[in-house]
Amino acid sequence: MTVSTKSNIYSNFVGGKWVESSSGDVLRSINPANKNETVGYVQDSTKEDLNAAVASAKEAQYQWKKLSGSERGQYLYNVANIMEKRLNEIAECATREMGKTLAETKGETLRGVAILRYYAGEGMRKVGDVIPSTDQEALMFTTRAPLGVVGVITPWNFPIAIPIWKIAPALIYGNTVVIKPATDTAVTCAKILECFEEAGLPEGVINLVTGAGSIIGQGIADHPDINGITFTGSNNIGKQIGKSALQRGAKYQLEMGGKNPVIVAADADLDLAIEATISGAFRSTGQKCTATSRVIVESTIYDTFKEKLLAEVKKITIGNGLKDGIWMGPCSNESQLQTVLSYVKKGLDEGGSLIFGGEKPKGSEYDNGFYVQPTIFEDVTSQMTIAQEEVFGPFIALIKVDSVQEGLDIANDVQYGLSASIFTTNIGHMLSFINEMDAGLIRINAESAGVELQAPFGGMKQSSSHSREQGEAAKDFFTSIKTVFVKG
Ligand code: NAD
């Protein structure tokens, strides 16, 4: 679309300058709490725009990698300080673009600041090991080289933290970056790029190109001068990107969907399990890859658990995430809302019982937003679609089991393996869960969503390309190992 006013149009950031797309067109980002409100416009970029960004990243990379780790780290510290100062503005923009509450987007912005500081420090830490050579007169060791230009493709659900947890390690290890965020949250991403600009990063070290996934995202996957691609998003798109990258020999990392279980054992602290289930399933309107979506409960406590869960879920206040007192915002876009409603229908068609929610909330304040009630099904079996497919909304399936072992078998009976929780006070159950649960994130007496930034993050099975992000693990993706043998 073409718009006449320039006030809220965000440009691409290429070679250290804000530039408009060669298409002359823009894409509109709207507020999911009120679809009539425009948050801003971003560039509807072309392949030529992407090529210019990649060329500028390629040109900048040699000088960038020649800086010491501590010099690169200083830039990241500067970005962190600027982002911290702009906390309220960035958080408010993210809430307006994707709907989650201001408390959550503030927390996410501060997480971004902490990640930047963590990787700034990483510039001073070791990059290799000395390995004893069989030759007494030789020195053998490993060091690490950056990949070169890294393409970053991000979803809308964590519009601040995900871009930062990819960009910060890419940069600290000497790569330069071209980022393409989801259009729904591209204004927030432009604000993040403004922080990098203000921190004075050399021209071309970080570049932003917004636009259609099929053009700019796929363009990144196919680009011969992009040496590494880090992607977070859906499975279908991730697999496509993996294929394109493999074909041309680029390194890739894919973090994708989840169908995360919580097992509640008969010996669990029920209040804790309920609080964690509600938070894990419904915070961010269930739009976390680590969100709780299957709650597997031992039959002897099932009725008590259900009753208490329903009593708590009734207290959830739904509304515009910018308003005080709101606990859950809208779905982030119309298609996500329709997806949730379509899974309600599938759940009913396949014999599940809807015991809470499942509809748009009533009242005029909800008319223009993509709101849906927190939704709970019971009488769910593991074969049902709602127990197998990722909904990515505030939606849980209750599954009754006769033992923790049966619960574990069901928990593993999906294609995904991102995060999994158990609530129990029995050490034997804890150990079985650690050993037998196929998930990259194992959580005991803690909600399925959430991981600390200094720890590896990623999934097993179809949730991930088996690489890990965050913490020290990021080094493995963003660098290549060189084994050095020196003979005196
Ligand atoms: P999506 O796959 O639709 O989009 C992700 C990104 O890929 C966007 O920037 C999009 O524009 C781009 N894209 C779209 N088509 C493309 C193409 N053909 N080639 C290249 N790029 C393309 O995902 P989404 O709807 O933005 O996010 C929701 C999904 O993300 C869920 O499945 C969720 O589980 C997943 N997710 C995973 C994690 C994780 O760490 N495992 C974290 C957050 C979200």
Q: Using a 6 Å cutoff on CB, does residue 112 contact ligand 1?
A: no
| CATH T-level assignment (fold) for domain 260-452 | Aldehyde Dehydrogenase; Chain A, domain 2 (3.40.309)
Instruction: Report the share of the chain in percent with pLDDT over 70.
Output: 99
Residue nearest to atom 22 of ligand 1 (CA): 213
Q: Using a 6 Å cutoff on CB, does residue 88 contact ligand 1?
A: no
Q: Using a 6 Å cutoff on CB, does residue 42 contact ligand 1?
A: no
CB of 204 within 8 A of CB of 57?
yes
Return the ligand 1 atom nearest residue 233 CA. 30
Structure tokens at 214: 């099929």
Ligand 1 test: best mutation among 157, 178, 253, 255, most atoms within 8 Å of CB?
157
- Same fold: 9-256+464-487 with 260-452: no
Q: Using a 6 Å cutoff on CB, does residue 258 contact ligand 1?
A: yes
Find the 269 Cα to ligand 1 centroid distance in Å. Answer: 36
**Model pLDDT for residues 54-92, shown as the tens digit of each residue:** 999 999 999 999 999 999 999 999 999 999 999 999 999
Q: Using a 6 Å cutoff on CB, does residue 237 contact ligand 1?
A: yes
Q: What is the pLDDT of residue 2?
A: 42
Find the 190 Cα to ligand 1 centroid distance in Å. Answer: 18
| Listed residue (408, 414, 354, 356) closest to 382, CA to CA | 414
C-alpha to C-alpha distance for 65 and 171, rounded to whole angstroms: 9
Return the ligand 1 atom nearest residue 155 CA. 26
**Model pLDDT for residues 235-290, shown as the tens digit of each residue:** 999 999 999 999 999 999 999 999 999 999 999 999 999 999 999 999 999 999 99
Distance linking the first and last C-alpha atoms of the chain: 65
Q: Using a 6 Å cutoff on CB, does residue 414 contact ligand 1?
A: no
Residue nearest to atom 19 of ligand 1 (CA): 218
Helical ranges in 356-400 per DSSP H: 385-388
C-alpha to C-alpha distance for 241 and 218, rounded to whole angstroms: 7
Q: Say which CATH class 9-256+464-487 falls into.
A: alpha beta
pLDDT surpasses 60 at 5: no
Count of residues for the chain? Answer: 488
Taking 3-state DSSP, the helix, strand and coil percentages for the chain, each rounded to the nearest 5, stand at: 40, 25, 35
> Which helix or strand (DSSP H or E) is residue 222 part of?
helix 218-222
**Model pLDDT for residues 214-249, shown as the tens digit of each residue:** 999 999 999 999 999 999 999 999 999 999 999 999
DSSP 57: H
CB of 269 within 8 A of CB of 305?
no
Question: Packing angle between helix 102-122 and helix 69-85, nearest 10 degrees?
Answer: 160
Find the 159 Cα to ligand 1 centroid distance in Å. Answer: 11
Query: For the residues 163-168, what does the mean pLDDT come to?
Result: 98
Q: What is the pLDDT of residue 451?
A: 85
Cα separations in angstroms, 127 against 39, 71, 144, 295, 483: 42, 16, 6, 42, 12
Confidence label for 488 from pLDDT (cuts 50, 70 and 90): confident
Other Cβ atoms closer than 10 A to 446? 16
> Which helix or strand (DSSP H or E) is residue 465 part of?
none
C-alpha to C-alpha distance for 79 and 86, rounded to whole angstroms: 11
Q: Using a 6 Å cutoff on CB, does residue 159 contact ligand 1?
A: no
Return the ligand 1 atom nearest residue 221 CA. 20
As annotated, the active-site residues are: 255, 289
**Model pLDDT for residues 433-470, shown as the tens digit of each residue:** 999 999 999 999 999 998 899 999 999 999 999 999 99
Q: Using a 6 Å cutoff on CB, does residue 241 contact ligand 1?
A: yes
CB of 213 within 8 A of CB of 237?
yes
Q: What is the mean pLDDT of the chain?
A: 97
| Listed residue (271, 330, 272, 311) closest to 101, CA to CA | 330
Q: What is the pLDDT of residue 103?
A: 98
C-alpha to C-alpha distance for 235 and 241, rounded to whole angstroms: 10
Q: Using a 6 Å cutoff on CB, does residue 369 contact ligand 1?
A: no
Q: What is the pLDDT of residue 4?
A: 42
Q: In what order do the strands lie in the sheet with 26-31?
A: 9-10, 34-43, 26-31
Domain ranges of the chain: 9-256+464-487, 260-452
Ligand 1 test: best mutation among 289, 333, 418, most atoms within 8 Å of CB?
289
Q: What is the pLDDT of residue 1?
A: 52
Ligand 1 test: best mutation among 47, 153, 260, most atoms within 8 Å of CB?
153
CB of 102 within 8 A of CB of 284?
no
Confidence label for 7 from pLDDT (cuts 50, 70 and 90): confident
Find the 234 Cα to ligand 1 centroid distance in Å. Answer: 4
β strands within 25-158, DSSP E: 26-31, 34-43, 138-146, 149-153
- Amino acid making up residue 44: D
Would you call 396 exposed, middle or buried from its count of C-beta atoms within 10 A (0-12, 13-18, 19+)? buried
pLDDT surpasses 60 at 387: yes
Return the ligand 1 atom nearest residue 212 CA. 11
Find the 212 Cα to ligand 1 centroid distance in Å. Answer: 12
- DSSP, residue by residue, 343-362: HHHHHHHTT-EEEE--SPPP
